[in-house]
Amino acid sequence: MEKILKEWEAELRLNGFRITHPFRDVMEVIISSPKPLSPMEIFSKVRDHNPQIGLVTVYRSIEKLEQLDLLDHIHHINECQTVFPSAKAHKHLIICEKCGRSTYLDGLEIESEFKNISKEAGYEITGHWLQLSGLCEECQ
């Protein structure tokens, strides 16, 4: 966790962002979580050890991290969006439907299949987002 935190702080400083204690608290909660978190979950966890933090601070912190592509948005059917530290390279995410634990997968084999699909459909793919769900080993 500490390595990622230092990388994020360096990237933020390089781009002119000031890192306050509340902002650092938000980053620590996001980085230490094995599952994507909603802004309200982040707020609740930070508030456990920093009762003065405001919800606006959490949203502003998320916004700053998103500007630098340090977070990925995770979409859930019939639920609010959550955030998760982004992968360094192009990866795909698999999320446990029961416990929420999330893991990035390489998925390079899928990339060639996307090229075949785009040819058949007559499209030039300029981007994609793929998220898988299932049950992790512990929840099966």
Model pLDDT, residue 78: 63
Q: Measure Cα distances from 105 to 24, 25, 122, 131 in Å.
A: 28, 28, 28, 10
Distance CA 70, CA 88 (A): 9
At 77 the pLDDT is 63
Identify the structural domains of the chain with CATH numbers, from first to last. Answer: 2-85 (1.10.10.10), 92-134 (3.30.1490.190)
The confidence score (pLDDT) of residue 32 equals 95
Per-residue pLDDT of the chain (140 residues; tens, 9 = 90+): 899 999 999 999 999 999 999 999 999 999 999 999 999 999 999 999 999 999 999 999 999 999 999 998 887 766 678 898 887 767 778 888 888 888 878 766 777 788 888 889 999 888 777 788 889 999 99
pLDDT at 115: 82
pLDDT at position 107, please?
67
Q: How far apart are the first and last CA of the chain?
A: 28
pTM, two decimal places: 0.76
Run of H or E including 35: none
Please tell me the predicted confidence (pLDDT) of residue 1.
81
Distance between CA atoms of residues 110 and 50, nearest Å: 43
Residue closest to 101 by CA, chosen among 67, 60, 139, 129: 139
**Tokens 């979950």, residue located:** 41
- Phi and psi torsions of 51, nearest 5°: -65, -15
Residues in the chain: 140
- Separation CA 90–CA 101 (nearest Å): 19
